[in-house]
Amino acid sequence: MLPAQQRVNGDWYQGTADAVYQNLDILRRQDPKLVLLLAGDHIYKMDYRVLIEEHLARGSKVTVACVQAPASEASCYGVMRVDANARITAFQEKPAVPFTVPGRPDRVLASMGIYVFDAAFLYEQLLLDAETQTSAHDFGRDIIPRLVAEEGVRVYAHDFARSCVNMTNGEPYWRDVGTIDAFWEANMDLTKVLPELNLYDGEWPIWTYQDQMPPAKFVFDDDNCRGKAIDSIVSGGCIVSGSAVRRSVLFANVRVYNHSVIEDSVILPNAQIGPAAVVRNAIIDKHCRVPEGMKIGVNLEDDRRRFDVTEKGHVLVVPEMLGQQVHHLK
């Protein structure tokens, strides 16, 4: 894991391409034949071997992983047009009027921000891009469109449906969680009875760091004070005390005190929800201490005066909004 560094000049990373360019010496030291570039804010399950084998079989210099997306959301993506052999013939970055999938005017072929490059070819393109003053130094905005338009360079699309693991309902699961609303929606996806992303697949587990914590605990069984969670995910270290949690995700070490209600919300690690509080359609940041009796997501006019409220009505609360200084800025 490489922290962001100013390895080439005094600037921090200017774009996705510049982020790789500033670490070229580390890449070259590893002497790879291929380089697989992945986005850090996407959620999906892909067997990268299928993508890489397809890249090698085609003799491609660069392959772009693609997924079908609603045409109404095209302005969020790089959109492609491909020929019968999956070669990309045109590329639009976040278009207002996009290319659509043949026979499907409601769908577009969107870039996932996942690329396989022949290593030597990647180095050439990054050096060229770094010398281009007008470039934003971004793969989706600069490098990929230029290569698609360049004669003699074959850029191919890889259909994510071929490498997606555990597709449900015949559709591959992929979410870009680059916005607050998208982050909320991706977490809510996991609370469904049959979620499209399977966290419980022992043959294709999700490996990540997990603190060693005791199991989640639910206490009190009185009619007016019962600890319960319904259609929810509750992580280790959590204690739900005499409160109701519905359609929500509780990250590690969350405390929910008596007579509180949490619905359709994401509670990040080490947060505490005080007695008799109500939290709805919200994201509560780590280390927040929601005071006793506070109501969040009940009256959006009140929430807009003290918290951040998205266009879709989701409320973001961070400790400083509650008068709690947790993030110390230099």
Q: Which residues contact 310 (CB under 8 A, 6 or more apart)?
A: 179, 180, 181, 184, 316
pTM score, whole prediction? 0.89
Distance from the Cα of residue 216 to its chain's centroid: 26
In angstroms, the CA 242 to CA 225 distance is 4
* Predicted confidence (pLDDT) per residue in 74-83, tens digit: 988 899 999 9
Q: How many H-runs (helices) and E-runs (strands) does the chain carry? A: 7, 26
pLDDT bracket for residue 39 (50, 70, 90): confident
Is the separation of the CB atoms in 191 and 213 below 8 Å?
Answer: no
Per-residue pLDDT at 14 = 82
Of residues 77, 48, 74, 75, the one with CA closest to residue 63: 48
Helices (H), the chain: 16-21, 24-30, 48-58, 119-130, 144-149, 180-189, 300-306
Q: What are the tokens at 156?
A: 């191919």
Q: Is the pLDDT of residue 142 over 70?
A: yes
Q: Which of 223, 230, 226 is nearest to 192 (CA)?
A: 230
Which residues are bridge partners to 46 per DSSP?
A: 164
Q: Is the pLDDT of residue 62 over 90?
A: yes
Using 50, 70 and 90 to split pLDDT, how confident is the model at 206? Answer: confident
Helix, strand or coil, per DSSP, at residue 110: strand
Domains within the chain, CATH numbers bracketed: 16-176 (3.90.550.10), 217-322 (2.160.10.10)
**Predicted local confidence at residue 9, as pLDDT:** 64
Long-range pairs for 307-313: beta carbons < 8 A, 24 or more residues apart: 308/180, 310/179, 310/180, 310/181, 310/184, 311/181, 312/181, 313/281
pLDDT over threshold 90, residue 302: yes
pLDDT at 330: 43
